[in-house]
Structure 1
Amino acid sequence: MNLRRTLLCGQCFRWREIAPDVFAGTAGGRRLVLTQQDLPKLEQNPFWRRYFDFDTDYETLRGQLAELHPNLREAARQSAGIHILRQDPWEALCSFILSQNNNIPRIQGIVSRLCQETEEPLPHAAFQESAAAHPFPRPETLAGLTEAQLAPLRCGFRARYLLDAAQKVADGTVPLEQLRTVPLAEARAALMQIVGVGPKVADCTLLYGLHRMEAFPVDVWMKRAMAQWFPGVEPAAFGAAAGLAQQYIFNWARNGVAAG
């Protein structure tokens, strides 16, 4: 696993590089500081082993995807080491609702305020784990709030979407855990019952929160990349690991290497 590519590829918003090659973040009520050299320790920790998805054979998947298209082979080569994190689906849903028409620093700020996190830096010593002071609020907590109460988040129109998501998840209208196994189109339709959730946010939730690796989120970046380097190719052509292909293509295009 390449820690930088995995944590900074746009799939999560609670990790930051706090010093050169030192990353700090929160997941599952835990806070962690680590470097690339700490990967063996991660693999020995049951929670972080699952979160960073060490038990998926990414090298095999990367090789299989590379055989599907010459440009995907190059994207996979230059994006080696990306893992799809196993994030909490509720947190992923909220994060990508907040990501709409937004940039990463602002998204990180809104999520931080939502969790009432301070901006105090974590220690820079590697592989320091502690309990998160302010874990991500549960849907039942947010469901009872109003847009006015969310005003301090400064998330604008997204407040209404966030509250609708909380209400629908809390009352079972959108049963997140069940969406792990139902057909992808059915899972996507269930998520799109939430006000403000379209196909892109739904697919981000499915891929990054529910680990539905066949989901392929499409935004402006991805539309442009697909049109330029994969004309006439539908995401379904990338098969059961289409979401991993999406990350390879996104990383390739975003870093400008594809242009050369």
Structure 2
Amino acid sequence: MKLRDAPSARPALWRSLPCPAAELRLDLVLSSGQTFRWWESSPGAWTGVLGGHVWTLRQDRDRLWYTVYGEEEEDGHPAEATKLDGAETDRILRDYFQLDVGLAALYRAWGAADPLFRKVADDFPGVRVLRQDPVECLLSFICTSNNHISRITAMIERLCQAFGRRLCCLDARPFHAFPSLSALAGADAEARLRALGFGYRAKFVSGSARAVAEGLGAEGLHRLRAAPYAEARRVLCALPGVGAKVADCVCLMALDKAEAVPVDTHVWRIARERYGAALGGRSLTPRAHQEIGDFFRGLWGPRAGWAQAVLFCADLRKGQEMAGSRERAGGGRGRDSCVGGPP
């Protein structure tokens, strides 16, 4: 299996969905800190793990192309795995990218309400919010506080290799499923995570995995999708290492709370510098999170979290370009922008 296979080269292995660039830009969505399981395996092609399977995605002007790899064989026999038919893989991708939400119409509405959004959005079409597995989203975002994307991605990769089930190997690169709650709730999980370089986050990852496993369970976490935003946020904030920012990320990206606006240093700076919103005092307190979220909900409406994702992506890209310029000028190593701030 070669990641370089293009739709035209192996048509029998590929399927596609109608999806214009105005509705989805893979390069913006998969690299902007919403998820940490995808990498650009060849120009324009993104390979990663979704739903316990390995996928490669690419797009042209009006279609999203994809292929799903089977699990590797063990002792000459195919590994046990759920076989996905075309209808199921289509459904998984539509759900993951929330393709039933018309993004172009939302852009127009946000732009009409907000000239600053309209100015930025022209250069960043197709930025939409993913609908992720709640367990994976929760435990991944616990790792984001005071951190940056490349380091978070490497941490999540080590986490999956150490605790997750191996799925397959492509071009000598192994791929693993995200670990189960039970795997990360074990007695030795914190020590193993510390050995993997998680630092103080090791306690929070293993502690939250244990708290969910012994309390709500994975199914209970999924059921928060049907709960009011305030209730879901309250439940999440009771978990180890979960503050307002992480809770809002999980609410927005896994629990169907489109009104959730995750507030970190990026968003705080956007609110203060671009909108002149003197909100929340001098630090990111719970009150600041609430006031800034309310400000943007008032401006953008019930999908304020989606609009915020566009501005966050634009701000992130600007920071990455500035870091790249400094690296080229000074010969030093660049660092991609931080997605963290207080948990």
Normalising by structure 1, we get a TM-score of: 0.87
Measured after TM superposition, the shift of residue 204 of structure 1 is 0.6
Distance of 1:93 and 1:17 partners within structure 2: 24
Please list, as runs of the form range in 1=range in 2, the aligned pairs for 1:76-155 lying within 5 A after superposition.
76-116=121-161, 122=170, 134-146=176-188, 147-155=190-198
Match status 1:160 vs 2:203: yes
Distance of 1:191 and 1:40 partners within structure 2: 34
Of the three residues 296, 299, 319, the one matched with 1:235 is 296
Distance 1:36 1:153, change over 3 A: same
Measured after TM superposition, the shift of residue 62 of structure 1 is 1.4
Measured after TM superposition, the shift of residue 235 of structure 1 is 2.0
Corresponding residue of 2:102: 57
Unaligned runs of 5+ in 2: 1-23, 67-85, 278-291, 320-343
Distance of 1:182 and 1:155 partners within structure 2: 32
Please list, as runs of the form range in 1=range in 2, the aligned pairs for 1:143-222 lying within 5 A after superposition.
143-146=185-188, 147-173=190-216, 175-222=220-267
Measured after TM superposition, the shift of residue 212 of structure 1 is 1.6
Corresponding residue of 1:18: 41
Partner SS, residue 55 of structure 2: strand
Unaligned runs of 5+ in 1: 124-131
Residue type at the aligned position of 2:236: L
Report the more deviating stretch, 170-179 or 83-92: 170-179
Normalising by structure 2, we get a TM-score of: 0.67
Residue type at the aligned position of 1:8: S
Report the more deviating stretch, 208-217 or 90-99: 208-217
**Which has more strand, going by share of residues?**
2
Measured after TM superposition, the shift of residue 11 of structure 1 is 0.5
Partner SS, residue 41 of structure 2: strand
Residue type at the aligned position of 2:184: L
Measured after TM superposition, the shift of residue 99 of structure 1 is 1.1
Structure whose alpha-carbon radius of gyration is higher? 2
Corresponding residue of 2:336: none
Corresponding residue of 1:127: none
On the 8 A contact 2:208/2:241 being kept in 1, the answer is: no
Q: How many residues align?
A: 248
Deviation digits for residues 217-254 of structure 1 (CA, Å, limit 9, x no counterpart):
01111111111112237122122111111111112223
Corresponding residue of 2:93: 48
Distance of 2:27 and 2:239 partners within structure 1: 32
Report the more deviating stretch, 97-106 or 37-46: 37-46
Corresponding residue of 1:245: 307
Measured after TM superposition, the shift of residue 173 of structure 1 is 4.4
Distance of 1:121 and 1:70 partners within structure 2: 47
Corresponding residue of 2:72: none
Residue type at the aligned position of 1:68: A
Partner SS, residue 207 of structure 1: helix
Match status 1:256 vs 2:301: no
Measured after TM superposition, the shift of residue 23 of structure 1 is 1.1
On the 8 A contact 1:76/1:245 being kept in 2, the answer is: no
Measured after TM superposition, the shift of residue 157 of structure 1 is 0.3
Residue type at the aligned position of 1:144: G
On the 8 A contact 1:24/1:122 being kept in 2, the answer is: no
RMSD of the alignment, in Å?
A: 2.4
Measured after TM superposition, the shift of residue 133 of structure 1 is 5.1
Query: Bigger relative contact order, structure 1 or 2, given CA contacts below 8 A and separation 6+?
Result: 1
Give identity over the alignment, percent: 37
Distance of 2:243 and 2:44 partners within structure 1: 35
On the 8 A contact 1:33/1:122 being kept in 2, the answer is: no
Partner SS, residue 23 of structure 1: strand
Distance 1:236 1:121, change over 3 A: same
